[in-house]
């Protein structure tokens, strides 16, 4: 055999091995999805969600539930006008809450952009309130993986306890499950024991079937929480998306034994909205998920609304 023929033979062997490896990777994700029913119909999910809420939501409109929901809030400021001064003031209100309302549990976390993590870390005095940062090219996720890794590492170094990232929606919708999952796994490796919340941006996914698939793949890749939305896309959180995601969390738990948290975010504008998501979590996942270690609400305006209901008078504390 000539050198040229040897080279061609080796080239074809390498290409064959790469093809097999790519096929194996593709099969890995198909096999993961194949363990779950992802063939969902949007109209059926809407009917099931409505039935569940019609049956159970009213009974959860109680003072105790509202106090619990307040303690599940990721109190969020993600504005282009955020400054060190405004974020410091925002954090000081959370500190003041413990002094002014000692009988109530504080919010679960303060959620800010990564460049504000150090300000929150240096200002925060309230016990048991975490620091969460959006990261990874939030809200579009459209940047280099290396930039996402660096941003996440810097946020954690600056004091973040939790990281909220967005899946690369374009990769998911084009069927590049490997690219999507590899990125989540890489960012989870950076987070280590710190919680990684993975935002699906459900309003951009287009169907209940896609929401179910994205939920499974995110959990499969190491997500500690799956989250509906950034709040920057319309529609944001919906009860139907929450139903599908909680169903996926339950099935994933039964398959693997690992509990993954749920966080609706974006468009949670009323106390009733919060009670709706509480009801879905309670009925689909059970009381084990009714802790702020497994259930969060991403919101800014809801804190004052819930507090007003709890105190029985209109208040603008935050």
Query: Catalytic residue numbers?
Result: 164, 227, 263
* DSSP run (H or E) holding 168: none
Place of tokens 């009323």: 270
- The H or E element that residue 186 is part of is helix 177-191
62 SS3 class: coil
Cα 62 to Cα 44: distance, rounded to the nearest angstrom: 29
Residue whose tokens read 């919680």: 195
47/75 Cα distance (integer angstroms): 32
Both tokens of 32, joined, read 């993961």
In eight-state DSSP terms, residue 197 is E
Backbone angles phi, psi at 150, to 5 degrees: -65, -45
Residues 227, 230, 235, CA angle at the centre, nearest 5°? 95
Instruction: Tell me how far apart the alpha carbons of residues 101 and 99 are, in angstroms, rounded to a whole number.
Output: 6
DSSP string for residues in 270-281: SHHHHHHHHHHH
Q: Measured in whole angstroms, how far is the alpha carbon of residue 89 from the centre of its chain?
A: 26
């Amino acid at each position: 055999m000539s050198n040229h023929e040897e080279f061609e033979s080796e080239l074809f062997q390498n290409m064959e091995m790469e093809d097999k490896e790519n096929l194996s990777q593709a099969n890995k994700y198909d096999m993961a999805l194949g363990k779950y029913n992802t063939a969902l119909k949007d109209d059926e999910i809407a009917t099931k969600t409505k039935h569940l809420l019609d049956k159970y939501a009213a009974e959860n409109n109680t003072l105790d539930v509202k106090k619990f929901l307040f303690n599940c809030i990721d109190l969020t400021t993600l504005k282009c006008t955020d400054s060190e001064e405004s974020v410091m003031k925002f954090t000081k209100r959370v500190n003041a809450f413990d002094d002014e309302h000692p009988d109530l549990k504080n919010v679960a976390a303060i959620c800010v952009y990564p460049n504000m993590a150090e300000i929150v870390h240096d200002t925060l005095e309230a016990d048991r309130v975490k620091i969460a940062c959006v990261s990874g090219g939030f809200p579009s996720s459209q940047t280099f993986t290396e930039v996402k890794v660096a941003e996440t590492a810097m946020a954690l170094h600056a004091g973040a306890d939790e990281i909220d990232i967005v899946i690369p929606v374009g990769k998911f919708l084009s069927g590049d499950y490997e690219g999507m999952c590899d990125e989540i796994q890489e960012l989870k490796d950076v987070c280590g024991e710190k919680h990684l919340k993975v935002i699906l941006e459900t309003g951009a996914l287009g169907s209940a079937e896609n929401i179910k698939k994205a939920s499974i793949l995110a959990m499969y890749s190491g997500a500690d929480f799956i989250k509906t939305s950034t709040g920057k896309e319309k529609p944001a959180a919906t009860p139907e998306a929450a139903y599908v995601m909680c169903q996926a969390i339950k099935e994933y738990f039964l398959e693997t034994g690992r509990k993954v948290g749920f966080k609706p975010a974006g468009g949670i504008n009323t106390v009733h909205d919060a009670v709706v998501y509480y009801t879905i979590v309670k009925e689909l996942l059970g009381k084990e998920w009714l802790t702020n270690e497994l259930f969060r609400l991403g919101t800014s305006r809801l804190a004052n609304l819930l507090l007003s209901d709890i105190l029985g008078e209109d208040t603008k504390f935050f």
